[in-house]
Structure 1
Amino acid sequence: MEVVKCGACAGAGSGSGGRGGIGIGGACVGRNLVRAYSPRRLSGPGPASAPALGVSSSSSSSSSPSRSCRRLFSEARPLLSRRAFSRTLCRKRVVSAMDQSSEKSAASGTTATTEVTGAKEAELLQAFCGIPSIDKAWTSSSRRGSGGVDVVVAMSSVNLQANAKRTFISTVYIPDPSGNAEDYHWSPFPFELGGALLIVPSPSGTKLLIVRKADPIAKEGPAAIKLEIWGPGQLLKELFVAPSVHGSLYADGWFEGVSWSNDEESIAYVAEEPSAPLPVYGQSLFATGQSSSRSEAESDASSWKGQGEWMEDWGESYTGKRRPMLFVASINSGCVQRVEGIPKDISVGQVVWAPAPPPGEPAQQLIFVGWPSYATNFSTARKLGMKYCYNRPCALYAIEAPSESRVVAQAAVHPVKLTGEVSSAVIPRFSPDGTQLVFLSAKAAVDSGAHCATNSLNAIDWPTDGVVSANLPMREVVPVVMNPREDGFPGLYVSNIIAQPWLSDGSTLLFTSAWRSMQVILAVNIESGAITRITPHDTIASWSLLGVQDDVVLAVSSSPTSPPCLKLGNNLSSSTNTGSGKKWDWSNINIPSLKFPSKVETALATMTYEVLQVPLERAEPTNSESGGPKPSIEVIYVSPRIFHSKQPQGAKKSDVPPLIVVLHGGPHSVSQTTYSRPLVFLSALGFSLLHVNYRGSTGFGEEALQSLRGNVGRQDVDDVLLAVEHVISEGLAERQRIGVLGGSHGGFLTSHLIGQAPDAFVTGVLRNPVCNLSSMIGVTDIPDWCYVETFGKDALSAYSDAPSISDLSMFYKASPIAHLSKVKVPTLFLLGAQDRRVPASNGLQYVQALRARGLEVKVIIFPEDMHAIDRPQSEFESFLNIGTWFKRFLLNSGA
């Protein structure tokens, strides 16, 4: 093993590779822990001094807790340290202070409660948290024998005590993928990858890159990142990268890019630019004449570092993250070099190596996606939020890779823009023979302003001589589908393509895409444009592509009632035209050691789900280009009990489970028939779930998606109410026992529904909801979203960073707060204090207005969570509260 500590030095590399990897985080709180911290033990309002915005007061954080607090601490002593308990207690006090609606509720005749959790519900949710998910998998030709395949599977489970994700690796050997599907061999035990940020195997599968945060104790001097290169049976090299070279790697699935060169001797990746030095104030500022022999400790004692100038970042989930830049690490020399010549106003991501040029031809090229700092489709001088926003203009660039042999006096290197005529180009992949560079385009999103829209697939003819120019031939392989036929191909909705996605013919590309309410695997022949759905047509479960080895496909399948399972696909066709007419045989790769708790097995055994069509004859006309609405929308109905889609005449309402309407965000997103741990927990509690894919959802064609722009709060509200009436008429729901749950735009829609249809729902639960666009516009990282969804087609020209009074009036009229006076149901709010997409203040404004009307409102603020509220402990607490809240209002209503 060779250890190299890297500063700023030159590195070399050549060849081609692909981007692909997995972000790694770090299973469970015991029953006693849940009971110890149940708010029942902290009943009653919090102290008068407790603040209302998730910041504990000085008394809350005191080291001398009250008598009742000391008694609670004594009970919890075996579980947590005093400091951990103090933090938990402070948080519970804040939550209690936020729930001071009890006094007003009593005055108004409503019933308030401080009860949030129950031990039985917590134990059940815990059991579901223990079920691992399948995150990534890599396939390679096995060295054990010809024709065999080695598979490395990365799985993760929730580690609640550490508030992190536990990721572990298992391997399976498949001797004959086309033969006996039962003939496979798992390694005896999985092993955990603690502290890894990314793992990326080389194309051949003989090397593995593991990226970790550097241990400052292990090596002399500071280091930001450690790159470990593993080979068969040993660690080949460690590269310690100093902060002066770059900051942390981007492992976010957006800017993220790690690519092995074709010869597997170099690695290109995306990382933060190094931090600028901060100004120093104090003694060192004016004591320049003093002796330089003063110790560093003495200087530190009399000086301090200032904050420096504020640096604009890319918004939600990128707070404090510096500009993404491109670097190349040479495995042989151990040196890491920044790729020079990229303009400062370009943020880099999704890098891949171009094919190696012929000997004597131009240097090796790197291909990357570049986002300009300022969106050209909106009139703004600011960075708009990037995460989940496909409407940000971007392009593919080629630039010469660093080389140790480069002459110093050589002319400066500049990137070549490859997609000048296309407003969006993402996820580049080279064909196996290196003649085609394919990429996805979100041009429909960029040109319309919608944050997500239908993709097109494009291809560039790559020059065999390696001479790159801005005028390479380009063509559209799969265009945007505007109005698909019923059950026909709805268009491409792709968020990622694996590093090696090609079948053995070299021209058939595989990827995962939304297909109405499902997720399917598609095969596209890039020569003919022919599209084939290779996943089974006789199932409505969702599938996702994990790996491809020749004509063997590894996938994961799940459904709202079935946890993820591995699938192996074999191509049964002998035809060489693999893009059309293929027949696939699928078999399970069971993980023999994977066992579910009995309570989980029992709950899953009785659940059922189906996809229903809801006619839209009663819907109001929209601004659809075809002059009318689509004939139907789709909903996913999940029930905790097995029964037919239409209940028999005269069925007792006690036989029909209470219903929770679940609304996705976006709004240009989609609910799919995939497994969701928190939602299956709600089903296990006895609730039916209705996921409504209202018009505007992805996976149904571009025309239906764009019809929602400018119609939010009206068209989506109508669609949801129509879906609810449909399931009531089918005997699947009882009118007096229906609640509604949504987050982000789903929260926007939830608050609209309880205001516009105050008698349709018993209660509502809102997670980081949009409640008032007129106040959100000035503080969100995506003000363009407010314009697009309110102004529709006029949004691009109407956008302003200084909205007019007229604009603010339009925003207010489109907002749920405009219907607040009609709300009459109790509500639960879950807010992330670090949310930059929909800041918590937006929900709190709505909360205080509801309380002023004497309505019962409960609020939980998660101090360290962003928009998704997906940190393990936060998600656990969120859905435990959601489950007990719905049990209180739905299981006991309508009797």
Structure 2
Amino acid sequence: MGDIWRMNSHMEDVIKSYKTLTKIPSITDGRLNNNATRVTSRWAIRNLDKGKQTHYLVDYLLDDNLGVVSQSPFGVDISHEILTAVSPKETFKAVIREAKDDKDGSKKKFFLEVWSSAGLKHSIDLNALDIHGDVYADAEFGSLDWSSDETNVVYVAEKKVKKSEPFIKRKSVDDIITPASRKPEPGQEHLYRDDWGEQLAGKIETVVVVCKLPEETFTVLDFVPGGPGQVRFLPDGETIVGVTWETKTLGRLGLIYCTNRPSFVFCITFTGTFKILSGENKAVRSPRVAPNGDLFWLQREAHGPHHACHQLVRLAADDVKILLDSEDEEIDDKLVSVVVDIVEKELEISNGVFYGIYCGSLPSKCFSEDSKKLVFSTQQQNEIRSYVVDTETRKLVDITNNRKALGSTSVLCVQSDVILASFSSLTTPPQLFASKLSSMVRDGGIEWVRVSAPAEVPSSVANAKVEYMTLKSDAQAPVSSFTAIYFGPDEGKVYPLVVWPHGGPHSAFSNSYSLEAAFFNLIGFACLLINYRGSTGTGDASVFFLPSRIGSADVEDCKFATQKALDQYPIDDKRLLLYGGSHGGFLVCHLSGVYPDLYSVTVARNPVTDLASMSNTSDIADWCAVEAGWPFSEEGPLNEDKLLTLRRVSPIVHAQNVLIPTALMLGSKDKRVPYYQGLEYARRLKANGVKVIVYMYEDNHSLSSVPVEMDNLLNAADWLITHIKP
């Protein structure tokens, strides 16, 4: 299929390629039972007829050597389960299920169910209780956890808002005699309330909710300041730890993909005790409780770039108890010890080089039985790699499962000193592996045993060439090196090249399975995935290099990577295609304006085109200031020089130079990069005679719902193929 782009009826084959790839599932989660003899894995697959992802379970039984004895004959659909948690002794499984209201299909209903081996023990209609709003299941706030005695579960939900009504409204007799405490507030129904932004729309004020199951009674712990989330029980079964985001200073700026928000690790008790466990001016996340009661979490300095290197820190169980018994609200942050520190550039470890921690969260279960080892995964240059850290000696060991093939390993669960992980690469879909901590030898080698086989992919993808590029664009700069991944058909022909910088900008491409990359491969394109300076996974210095240099250093890196790829790989220099979203869209729009004769065609998804106007309306206004080079503040008068700087680093200043056909894919519900950014850019291109097309989707910044992904990816392919220079 390498020459599909030459065919007049190209879309028939393009659609066939996409449909083929949508039948390949992805791993979303996995857990081991208490004695590590059963794997319960969660998978997702695109269901084109339903227009959404179908989620399902597959179980595997393991022998003492982690070999698979048997597996589920069929997957079990769990698409309506938004949160699940198995109790500590595996007596019960709690499930929070989301369904549509029978009377009003636009409204959600939530049910808390508890199952035992004998069947359904509890089923509670949470909406009928009317004690809180929607239950949170997202990666920032969502959680469901059991107490050690298996009598309580805790989760996070939207705080119940008092009902409002118009100032003038005819009332019934029953309304007149309603107690004042239950009467709606007049004139408050249109009051604007900030939410947590992109993909967290409508999530405004969270509360911690505890259900005592034997009595089916609920307690709403609404005294935690800010926005609490990520809650779980300490071993005593009466204390809850979590993260809360500070809202007084900056309000509710966008939270998803933003690990820089000021926040605290806290603990609370049923009796109303509230304590802060982390230091000031920190951004924290992912608290985890070791079997011995020690508390670990990830932290970095608050503010600054939206993602950066994190420390892994520990607070001993005894110190938590001392704080709970004291009258002090905050702990002495000197008691918080650093287990893995921030890495500026690189750190030599026993079996390789380590660049720091950049993961969004730790595995839900990540400890050895004796609490002396913690297992985690993080971006490291072009891969996601996995590590074991000794929590006492702080020694790090790389246990990544790619000794025979390049790829990425992500730890899902650690139980009874057995590790469950997923492995994939650009040529291989996700598969499950297991290993025993006891198999780890001094040099870091560890024996991985395959649990699930990867789904079959077309031979063009399976046999493609994947190579890592180490690049150096400016030897005089404080940070000069960056990386890229070349992914192309391995047939010895000359191919069009998709030049593809990632968004963020403080994120990174990894050698992990990607439907988009596989799709471009199938329709006859090679891809260049560029981790320009500012990307995560190569040391904190690289992250902090880019602010004040966006629109220049990152653009030059992309141009430099393009030229190096032309020198090293079978690429047609007359068919260079630009493709990127968000900050990647920012970069491809820059490249088409700064180098109008180098590239052939552009597809940009929700691109940042003008920071000056974006800074007034985005859910992450601080991003514009920080990336342009100064601390964010909305106090005082507007600074005209700063507004001019924002405009000068934006691709819209080069719009008059653009010559190549440009397609823009925009989301009408995008809170991060509002769609007018793309519309303004499109108008300027059209005024200059450039061929432009705009697709508008009723979706958010990610454009990831199944119908939207299908349409924008197929239209992107059509646009690229149609406008390749002959």
* Correspondence for 1:152: 40
Choose which of 482, 490, 505 in structure 1 pairs with 2:370. Answer: 505
Does residue 1:471 correspond to 2:331, yes or no? yes
Q: Mean alpha-carbon deviation: is it higher for 731-740 or for 867-876?
A: 731-740
Task: Describe the shift of the 1:248–1:274 C-alpha distance in structure 2 as closer, same or farther (beyond 3 A).
Answer: same
Describe the superposition over 1:249-299 as per-residue Cα deviations: whole angstroms up to 9, x where unpaired: 111101112211112211111110013202146651xxx5x76599x9xxx
Describe the superposition over 1:4-45 as per-residue Cα deviations: whole angstroms up to 9, x where unpaired: xxxxxxxxxxxxxxxxxxxxxxxxxxxxxxxxxxxxxxxxxx
Choose which of 189, 199, 215 in structure 2 pairs with 1:307. Answer: 189
Does residue 1:633 correspond to 2:482, yes or no? yes
Q: C-alpha displacement at 1:492, in angstroms?
A: 0.8
Find the aligned partners of 1:807 and 1:171 in 2 and give their Cα distance: 56
Report SS of the residue matched to 1:754: helix
* Correspondence for 1:614: 471
Task: Describe the shift of the 1:878–1:305 C-alpha distance in structure 2 as closer, same or farther (beyond 3 A).
Answer: farther
Choose which of 365, 369, 389 in structure 1 pairs with 2:258. Answer: 389
Report SS of the residue matched to 2:647: helix
* Correspondence for 1:817: 652
Q: C-alpha displacement at 1:572, in angstroms?
A: 4.8
Equivalent runs, 1:121-200 vs 2, <5 Å: 121-141=14-34, 149-178=37-66, 181=67, 183-200=68-85
Flag structure 1 segments of 5+ consecutive residues without an equivalent.
Answer: 1-114, 143-147, 297-303, 358-363, 403-412, 623-627, 644-654
Q: Mean alpha-carbon deviation: is it higher for 450-459 or for 251-260?
A: 251-260
Choose which of 417, 427, 430 in structure 2 pairs with 1:561. Answer: 427
Does residue 1:355 correspond to 2:235, yes or no? yes
Task: Give me the TM-score of the superposition, normalised by structure 1.
Answer: 0.74
Choose which of 437, 452, 458 in structure 1 pairs with 2:307. Answer: 452
Find the aligned partners of 2:221 and 2:319 in 1 and give their Cα distance: 24
Find the aligned partners of 2:417 and 2:269 in 1 and give their Cα distance: 34
Choose which of 414, 436, 460 in structure 2 pairs with 1:570. Answer: 436
- Identity over aligned residues, as a percent? 28
Task: Describe the shift of the 1:414–1:204 C-alpha distance in structure 2 as closer, same or farther (beyond 3 A).
Answer: closer
Q: C-alpha displacement at 1:604, in angstroms?
A: 2.5
* Correspondence for 1:100: none
* Correspondence for 1:868: 702
Describe the superposition over 1:369-420 as per-residue Cα deviations: whole angstroms up to 9, x where unpaired: 1111134xxxx4x421111111111011111125xxxxxxxxxx34111113
Flag structure 2 segments of 5+ consecutive residues without an equivalent.
Answer: 1-7, 179-185
- 8 A contact 1:768–1:829 mirrored in 2: yes
Find the aligned partners of 2:156 and 2:655 in 1 and give their Cα distance: 46
Task: Give me the TM-score of the superposition, normalised by structure 2.
Answer: 0.91
What code does the residue aligned with 2:26 have? Answer: S
What code does the residue aligned with 1:401 have? Answer: F
Choose which of 490, 493, 514 in structure 1 pairs with 2:358. Answer: 493
Report SS of the residue matched to 1:870: coil
Q: C-alpha displacement at 1:246, in angstroms?
A: 0.7
Choose which of 424, 431, 434 in structure 1 pairs with 2:290. Answer: 431
Find the aligned partners of 2:529 and 2:290 in 1 and give their Cα distance: 38
Q: C-alpha displacement at 1:766, in angstroms?
A: 0.3
Q: C-alpha displacement at 1:522, in angstroms?
A: 1.1
* Correspondence for 1:523: 388
Higher relative CO (CA 8 A, sep ≥ 6), structure 1 or 2? 1
Choose which of 386, 389, 411 in structure 2 pairs with 1:545. Answer: 411
Greater Rg, structure 1 or structure 2? 1
- 8 A contact 2:83–2:144 mirrored in 1: no
Q: C-alpha displacement at 1:213, in angstroms?
A: 2.8
Task: Describe the shift of the 1:116–1:250 C-alpha distance in structure 2 as closer, same or farther (beyond 3 A).
Answer: farther
* Correspondence for 1:838: 673
Find the aligned partners of 2:175 and 2:642 in 1 and give their Cα distance: 62
* Correspondence for 2:214: 332
- 8 A contact 2:461–2:521 mirrored in 1: no
* Correspondence for 2:182: none
Q: Mean alpha-carbon deviation: is it higher for 600-609 or for 811-820?
A: 600-609
Q: C-alpha displacement at 1:461, in angstroms?
A: 1.6
Find the aligned partners of 2:10 and 2:523 in 1 and give their Cα distance: 13
Q: Mean alpha-carbon deviation: is it higher for 718-727 or for 204-213?
A: 204-213
* Correspondence for 1:887: 721
Q: C-alpha displacement at 1:819, in angstroms?
A: 1.0
Find the aligned partners of 1:605 and 1:581 in 2 and give their Cα distance: 31
Task: Describe the shift of the 1:640–1:175 C-alpha distance in structure 2 as closer, same or farther (beyond 3 A).
Answer: same
Task: Describe the shift of the 1:231–1:215 C-alpha distance in structure 2 as closer, same or farther (beyond 3 A).
Answer: farther
Task: Describe the shift of the 1:128–1:803 C-alpha distance in structure 2 as closer, same or farther (beyond 3 A).
Answer: farther
Find the aligned partners of 1:802 and 1:383 in 2 and give their Cα distance: 21
- 8 A contact 1:244–1:275 mirrored in 2: no
Q: C-alpha displacement at 1:666, in angstroms?
A: 0.6
Report SS of the residue matched to 1:590: coil
Q: Mean alpha-carbon deviation: is it higher for 832-841 or for 168-177?
A: 168-177
- 8 A contact 2:81–2:96 mirrored in 1: yes
* Correspondence for 1:856: 691
What code does the residue aligned with 2:338 have? Answer: E
* Correspondence for 2:3: none
Report SS of the residue matched to 1:247: strand
Higher strand share: 2
Find the aligned partners of 2:522 and 2:583 in 1 and give their Cα distance: 26
Report SS of the residue matched to 1:369: strand
Q: C-alpha displacement at 1:306, in angstroms?
A: 7.7
Q: C-alpha displacement at 1:204, in angstroms?
A: 3.5
Find the aligned partners of 1:165 and 1:231 in 2 and give their Cα distance: 28
Report SS of the residue matched to 1:734: strand
Find the aligned partners of 1:117 and 1:399 in 2 and give their Cα distance: 60
* Correspondence for 2:5: none
Find the aligned partners of 2:631 and 2:521 in 1 and give their Cα distance: 40
Find the aligned partners of 2:78 and 2:54 in 1 and give their Cα distance: 8
- 8 A contact 2:585–2:608 mirrored in 1: yes
Describe the superposition over 1:37-93 as per-residue Cα deviations: whole angstroms up to 9, x where unpaired: xxxxxxxxxxxxxxxxxxxxxxxxxxxxxxxxxxxxxxxxxxxxxxxxxxxxxxxxx
- 8 A contact 2:297–2:314 mirrored in 1: yes
Task: Describe the shift of the 1:319–1:390 C-alpha distance in structure 2 as closer, same or farther (beyond 3 A).
Answer: same
Q: Mean alpha-carbon deviation: is it higher for 273-282 or for 834-843?
A: 273-282
Does residue 1:370 correspond to 2:271, yes or no? no
Find the aligned partners of 2:673 and 2:223 in 1 and give their Cα distance: 36
Find the aligned partners of 2:435 and 2:12 in 1 and give their Cα distance: 43
- 8 A contact 1:395–1:420 mirrored in 2: yes
What code does the residue aligned with 1:605 have? Answer: A
Q: C-alpha displacement at 1:218, in angstroms?
A: 10
* Correspondence for 2:164: 278
Q: C-alpha displacement at 1:354, in angstroms?
A: 1.5
Find the aligned partners of 1:813 and 1:833 in 2 and give their Cα distance: 26
Find the aligned partners of 1:124 and 1:317 in 2 and give their Cα distance: 29
What code does the residue aligned with 1:438 have? Answer: F
Find the aligned partners of 2:690 and 2:129 in 1 and give their Cα distance: 53
Q: C-alpha displacement at 1:642, in angstroms?
A: 4.8
Aligned residues: 697
Q: C-alpha displacement at 1:881, in angstroms?
A: 1.1
Report SS of the residue matched to 1:442: strand
- 8 A contact 1:637–1:690 mirrored in 2: yes
Equivalent runs, 1:199-214 vs 2, <5 Å: 199-213=84-98
- 8 A contact 2:291–2:370 mirrored in 1: no
Describe the superposition over 1:683-725 as per-residue Cα deviations: whole angstroms up to 9, x where unpaired: 1101000001100000000111111010001000111111111
Task: Describe the shift of the 1:462–1:734 C-alpha distance in structure 2 as closer, same or farther (beyond 3 A).
Answer: same
* Correspondence for 1:701: 539
- 8 A contact 1:279–1:308 mirrored in 2: no
Task: Describe the shift of the 1:545–1:860 C-alpha distance in structure 2 as closer, same or farther (beyond 3 A).
Answer: same
Describe the superposition over 1:199-224 as per-residue Cα deviations: whole angstroms up to 9, x where unpaired: 222333332221113565599xx994
* Correspondence for 2:682: 847
Q: C-alpha displacement at 1:765, in angstroms?
A: 0.8
What code does the residue aligned with 1:251 have? Answer: A
Q: Mean alpha-carbon deviation: is it higher for 389-398 or for 156-165?
A: 156-165
Describe the superposition over 1:728-756 as per-residue Cα deviations: whole angstroms up to 9, x where unpaired: 11143221111111100010111111111
Let me know the Cα RMSD of the aligned residues. 2.6
* Correspondence for 1:235: 120
- 8 A contact 2:198–2:671 mirrored in 1: yes
